[in-house]
Structure 1
């Protein structure tokens, strides 16, 4: 990643070569060497950081990406915060520019890039995003790092910021034990339909004292709920290991229901009905 004007001034590249097939222009005066893979969010975020200039801070989904808490949808734009009171870059298709006040204590350095820290990033995404995606983001950022309820400190400190009430609603549903964004979405599908809260990342110990982790579980009913991602069958070895794991769980008396992202998107009512039946719960009364 480099600024075109700086590379030309240093004699590293000519204007003609810069316009050729070797380099991709991501943003004005911001280039990267073309590779087989399209630029991912981390690379596009770094480009936005260089383009936005001094004082910029990566925030939102871009900050989450740099912090190792990927939770953005495909093709999400990069996000950068700039000082609210000074003129600066404007949002464009590739970059969402946030004009906001970012306290110095809310900023960390990641590989030489200034990004909002985990708690500030979670607070921002919870107030900017739709309810479900806000919870997904808070779960991803809080995992192994902080208690989501600590975000209440931000709501007290920043009562006038837009969307603060959405943070309070998100905290009702958050659980830092969640193992991944799809697992959070599956959990929310159940609890927002009125089912009991399952336990995320529940450990099951087999007869050889090996731990088998369930994405979601109702331990009293020995019912496991799993998000079935493509990695389960990425290789023959992975598929064999997954089948052996399932057999061990069944041998320990567990029932395991598995659902894909496609099923969660297209058939949420069926999923809720199947789990309700597996739990032995009555159908909800019609009003």
Structure 2
């Protein structure tokens, strides 16, 4: 490819010395990571939130930069974070032709973050997607004793739950626990004797028969709304009190959520909460 052609209308410069076909811009996540890898001269390893997303665990905060581990110092272009860190060869894998940290190493790196909520969200999402126990990250904490943020890892693992099926479910659980309420069970099955199969609750206090559901965007389609209505009816018929929350409730009225669940547990039969 000649410099003259790259500077023509068919290509767009996305990073220093890195170009993409115009029809691919704006780049999707995998292509952004591929561009960063190419910018690094193939020496970089995609890490952090970018690695989590590449591995199929969608949990990155909006606007998170593509993080890349490099063996040398380099000035990061816009939208990229360059980091130098100790990395064992067994903690690197290939995804879509890109070198990336393994899910376990990615979870360890994100568990060291300054924001505890984001750290727990990341560990939950990666553990759920890849089926590992969060406690395995303690091995990394021992191996990399002294790295920045390692002291935060045990606290994050104490709050993590591999059964959490989405970041908002994690945030709901943390909201309740930090408010002093008992820790709810994630993805609790309730037997449906009519249909002879389990109905799963996002969060639950089984003894008190209090269930909590997070209603994300995937619950807004007409068919899903009808299925959810029937599902809640079956749960109520089985003696459950169901509380349904959205992203607006989490963002704007966390205190109301805590108050409502607190009252539900207070009003449960004696000894059940």
Aligned mate of 2:106, from 121, 142, 156: 121
Answer yes or no: is the 8 Å Cα contact 1:126–1:137 preserved in 2. yes
1:112 and 1:36 mapped to 2: Cα distance? 17
Deviation string 1:224-271 (CA, Å, 9 cap, x unpaired) is 1111112111x2112211211111211221111011112111111111
TM-score normalised by structure 2 residue count: 0.91
Alignment-derived partner of residue 33 in structure 1: 21
Q: 2:46: which partner in 1? A: 58
**2:208 — aligned with what?**
221
User: In the alignment, what sits opposite 1:96?
Assistant: 81
Deviates more, 1:273-282 or 1:108-117: 273-282
Inter-partner Cα distance in structure 2 for 1:90 and 1:213: 48
* Aligned mates of 1:241, 1:8 — CA distance in 2: 56
Query: Does the CA contact (< 8 Å) of 2:16 and 2:77 recur in 1?
Result: no
CA gap of 1:42–1:111, structure 2 versus 1, over 3 A, is: closer
Compute the displacement of 1:111 (Å): 2.1
Give the structure 2 partner of residue 77 of structure 1: 65
The answer (yes or no) to whether the contact 1:41–1:77 under 8 Å persists in 2 is no
CA distance in 2, matches of 1:14, 1:239: 52
Partners of 2:204 and 2:210 within 8 A in 1: yes
Listed one character per residue, the Cα deviations across residues 108-155 of structure 1 (whole Å, up to 9, x for unaligned) are 111221111111111101112411100100111111521111111111
Task: Give the CA deviation at 1:99.
Answer: 1.0
Deviating runs (4+, > 6 A) in structure 1? none
Q: Please say if residues 41 and 76 of structure 1, whose CA atoms lie closer than 8 Å, have aligned partners that are also in contact.
A: no
Do the aligned residues in 2 keep the contact of 1:81 with 1:97 (CA within 8 Å)?
A: yes
Distance in 1 between the 2:184 and 2:133 partners?
A: 18
Q: CA deviation at 1:35?
A: 4.8
Q: In the aligned structure 2, how far is the partner of 1:94 from the partner of 1:79? A: 9
Find the partner of 1:163 among 149, 157, 167. 149
State the alpha-carbon separation in 1 of the partners of residues 241 and 22 from structure 2: 48
* Match status 1:259 vs 2:260: no
